[in-house]
Structure 1
Amino acid sequence: MSVAWDDDPAVAAWPGLPPLAGDVRADACVVGLGASGLAAVRELSGRGLEVVGVDAGRVGAGAAGRNGGFLLGGPAPFLHDAIGRWGEAAAVGLYRATLAELEEIAARLGPGVVRRAGSIRLAGLPGEPDEGELADCRRHEAALRAHGIAVEEYDGTLGRGLFLPGDAAVNPARRVIETARELGARAVLHEHTRVLRVADGRVDTEHGSVAAAVVVVAVDGGLEVLLPRLQGRVRTARLQMLATGPVADRLPCPVYCRSGYDYAQQLPGGALAVGGGRDRFADAEWTHERDPSPAVQRWIEGVAQRMAAGPVDVTHRWAASVGFTADGRPLCAQVGDGVVAAGGYSGTGNLVGPVVARAAVALALDGTPPPPYCAP
């Protein structure tokens, strides 16, 4: 299994961080150094705390660096669906929080990392329109317009749907590595340090322990394994992707179709990064396995061919674990004395994750209840 994002020279040149060596003390410990964990590191260190962060692998080697690279405003459910499930204040509140997060990331990392291209929600697949989904696009559009969020109708070579000009694209692995590089001067970060147990005031790893009054567990996939008390509140699934060799220019921005179950972006140089198919094989994809499966990969390859309007040469295949909640609200919860958890982003952690991580820090340090867009 190889991940196309890792071919980026900035990712390939990452020198790495040393594993934890022995027992240490800190004011706070962050478990998981993906987008949400690093947001927690930033927030904690910004408050003047001495922070130690640990990750089981390389930073961004989990879902944070293996996803589709979409920076989309809003939660996992489309805005009109989220309003119906959670109420207007919660749904719109999370949408606005993710838009603010995108602005912060774009300003901090710059256009060399964040591509402000917008996104397309396509009704059906290219060459296979879905009138029912097109009607849902209109409901989605109405909700966005009602709350002053930029949206346009899309009618182009790929099909019909919506164009959301405020969204963006990124190499997710590079985004995480650039962030870790920046935070290395503000916190002590360790890679390849697998956590064995989280307890009140202590994190035990394969290489030693971290004693800390505050522990933020920012792990998406497998969260309910690391914190068994969360079983039944979050569930791990496998998301799969592939990359192709260069094809003719087809995708002007990130594209997601079939209600977001399939998605693709075209990279500089013309390669496609394509994912999806989880709903087609749902029972098999509720798993902690992180290797690609032939059935889902065949489906994604078909999606890639539709995106390319022709045959493709697959160069990379990979998968990652992410957490889902029952109603799509991300989880932010206290699970012990000074121990809080952030996860369950339902496949949309690139912006939602950092927002929830900061809420977790506020819960741990200030006792501030999580926002209504977080699952209780």
Structure 2
Amino acid sequence: MNPLYRNDRAGEMPQSWYAASSDLPALRPALAGDVTADVCVIGAGYTGLSAAWHLARKGLDVVVLDAHRAGFGASGRNGGQVGSGYNASQQTLARKLGKDQAAALWALAEEAKDDVRQTCATHIPEARYRPGVAHGFYSASEARDYYGDADYLAETYGYDQIEKLTPDAMRDVVKSPLYQGGLLDMGAGHIHPLRYALGLARLAEDVGARLYDLSEVTGIAMGDPATVSTAKGRIKARHVIMAGNGYMPTINRKVAAKVMPINSFICATEPLGDRAAQVLARDIAVADSKFVVNYYRMSEDNRFLFGGRESYSLGYPTDISTALIQRMTNLFPQLKGVKVDYVWGGTLGITMTRLPAIQRVAPNVLSGAGFSGHGVALSGLAGKIMAEAVAGQASRFDTLAALKVPNFPGGPTCRAPLLTLAMTWYALRDRLGV
């Protein structure tokens, strides 16, 4: 089934706290008829909107197509964490890629966070950027590994934003009895993700980009110009940027073979009022060391936003709430019985290496996807760097494109069964504490 409609109705935002707390614009018209443009961007999430904003600021004529609406997908549904680095430690990247390439990647990731901070401060204050992301772990052996990573960042890159937390210090901040220590990264942060996406759409339109909703791309005819087709229209464009991530249908097998869609789920409790301090003592976001990761933070009205990934199929489970709430109360027994007002899901894209898949699919067709849980910062950077490449400055694009991201075995056809096997195995490991 088409991933665009597997769990959603066309153009209808999920029943999330993010949607309930945002000022949603009216749906934009769908593309109709034949249109020409310098650049056609497929997907109106962080990647596509960032690319459109930067390209239109350079004076290029940009059209953005989305099968649903701006901010509809993972960009408007995620945990809101603006994390440091990648879904692999810098020590690992240095061993695999060499110190110079790892350092270049770290610099790009730092720029990605700074872009989000500055964009929120200057243009999208309603996204409410707040500093601080903690990482919790469950054993002394994990503590040694994570403390070593923090030391490496300080010694190698001069990154001094991370505080090591003993078990007692961690429990002073994060009121779960289960963590055996943690790291607090004040150079990372968190935002309201949907408001940020809506703000990027506004910024792109303000500088001349044309956005079309309800305009699913059904095919791309390669060439110069390329022709991008929808149900009711066509765009002839000198360049195409594919930015659909986990929601991208299989319209290009080079992209689909490297990126696997995976579902993640979030719930929002009723407002906790003063009880919020019994869960988190500071206005920070938290993620932990489970492979099937737990991630959470407080909303501006003191709801506890708790997320986790445990989905063994591409469709949502019939019952999202039970398992998610059980995970939440296992970590925070003090929340047993708290009313949950919202539960929603979304689809992100992961790769075999958990590193972004940045590709030149054809001479004038670029793709950015597979941000593997680090997309709030990295996806916007990918859009910015693809915009640079379209404008003729490809050196930074080439740095990201040089990351070796292999195809999933069997390509798009076998991704779903592999996902089921892998997630079942890693969820079992998490439960057993292996």
**TM-score, normalised to structure 2's length?**
0.77
Preserved CA contact (<8 Å) 2:255 2:367: no
Preserved CA contact (<8 Å) 1:292 1:319: no
2:97 to 80, 86, 90: 86
Question: Which residue is equivalent to 2:394?
Answer: 368
| Alpha-carbon spacing, 1:337–1:117, altered in 2? closer, same or farther (3 Å) | closer
Question: Which residue is equivalent to 2:286?
Answer: 255
Question: Which residue is equivalent to 2:237?
Answer: 212
Q: State whether structure 2 residue 341 is matched by structure 1 residue 315.
A: yes
Question: Which residue is equivalent to 1:187?
Answer: 209
CA deviation map 1:204-256 (0-9, x unaligned) = 01221111111111111044613223343222212222222123212221010
- CA RMSD, aligned part only? 2.2
Q: Distance in 2 between matches of 1:44 and 1:179?
A: 13
**Count of matched residue pairs:** 361
- Counterpart amino acid of 1:267? S
When structure 1 is superposed on structure 2, of 155-164 and 79-88 the one drifting more is: 79-88
- Counterpart amino acid of 1:320? G
Q: State whether structure 2 residue 15 is matched by structure 1 residue 2.
A: yes
> What secondary structure sits across from 1:225 in the alignment?
coil
Q: State the 1:317 CA deviation.
A: 1.9
* Runs of 4+, deviation exceeding 6 Å: none
- Counterpart amino acid of 2:106? V
1:27-106 alignment, distance < 5 Å: 27-88=38-99, 89-90=101-102, 91-106=105-120
Preserved CA contact (<8 Å) 1:233 1:325: yes
Q: Distance in 2 between matches of 1:266 and 1:86?
A: 37
CA deviation map 1:85-134 (0-9, x unaligned) = 4333334233323233233323333544233231111113xxxxx22322
| Alpha-carbon spacing, 1:86–1:94, altered in 2? closer, same or farther (3 Å) | farther
Question: Which residue is equivalent to 1:298?
Answer: 322
Q: Distance in 1 between matches of 2:333 and 2:126?
A: 25
> What secondary structure sits across from 1:23 in the alignment?
strand
Preserved CA contact (<8 Å) 1:238 1:322: yes
Question: Which residue is equivalent to 1:169?
Answer: 190
Preserved CA contact (<8 Å) 1:4 1:243: yes
- Counterpart amino acid of 1:258? S
> What secondary structure sits across from 1:118 in the alignment?
strand
- Counterpart amino acid of 1:132? S
1:333 to 350, 353, 359: 359
| Alpha-carbon spacing, 1:243–1:231, altered in 2? closer, same or farther (3 Å) | same
Preserved CA contact (<8 Å) 1:114 1:168: no
Q: State the 1:293 CA deviation.
A: 5.1
**TM-score, normalised to structure 1's length?**
0.88
Q: State the 1:297 CA deviation.
A: 4.4
- Counterpart amino acid of 2:399? P
2:228 to 188, 203, 209: 203
Q: Which consecutive unaligned segments of at least 5 residues does structure 2 have?
A: 1-13, 405-434
Q: Distance in 1 between matches of 2:195 and 2:26?
A: 13
1:243 to 264, 268, 271: 268
Preserved CA contact (<8 Å) 1:75 1:82: no
> What secondary structure sits across from 2:108 in the alignment?
helix
Q: Distance in 2 between matches of 1:79 and 1:301?
A: 33
Preserved CA contact (<8 Å) 2:268 2:341: yes
Preserved CA contact (<8 Å) 2:41 2:242: yes
| Alpha-carbon spacing, 1:28–1:110, altered in 2? closer, same or farther (3 Å) | closer
Q: State the 1:68 CA deviation.
A: 0.5
Preserved CA contact (<8 Å) 1:223 1:343: no
Preserved CA contact (<8 Å) 1:239 1:322: yes
- Counterpart amino acid of 2:267? L
| Alpha-carbon spacing, 1:259–1:136, altered in 2? closer, same or farther (3 Å) | farther
Q: State the 1:336 CA deviation.
A: 2.1
| Alpha-carbon spacing, 1:272–1:78, altered in 2? closer, same or farther (3 Å) | farther
Q: Distance in 2 between matches of 1:292 and 1:179?
A: 31
Q: Distance in 1 between matches of 2:114 and 2:297?
A: 23
Q: Distance in 2 between matches of 1:259 and 1:292?
A: 21
Preserved CA contact (<8 Å) 1:332 1:359: no
> What secondary structure sits across from 2:382 in the alignment?
helix
CA deviation map 1:17-68 (0-9, x unaligned) = 2211222111111110101101110121122111111111121110111110
Q: Distance in 2 between matches of 1:303 and 1:148?
A: 36
| Alpha-carbon spacing, 1:55–1:231, altered in 2? closer, same or farther (3 Å) | closer
Question: Which residue is equivalent to 1:136?
Answer: 145
| Alpha-carbon spacing, 1:136–1:298, altered in 2? closer, same or farther (3 Å) | farther
Greater radius of gyration (CA): 2
1:148 to 126, 148, 158: 158
Preserved CA contact (<8 Å) 1:224 1:230: no
1:346-361 alignment, distance < 5 Å: 346-361=372-387
Q: State the 1:197 CA deviation.
A: 0.8
Preserved CA contact (<8 Å) 1:224 1:235: no
| Alpha-carbon spacing, 1:266–1:21, altered in 2? closer, same or farther (3 Å) | same
- Counterpart amino acid of 1:148? G
> What secondary structure sits across from 2:33 in the alignment?
coil
Q: Distance in 1 between matches of 2:391 and 2:70?
A: 25
Identity %: 23
Q: Distance in 2 between matches of 1:15 and 1:301?
A: 33
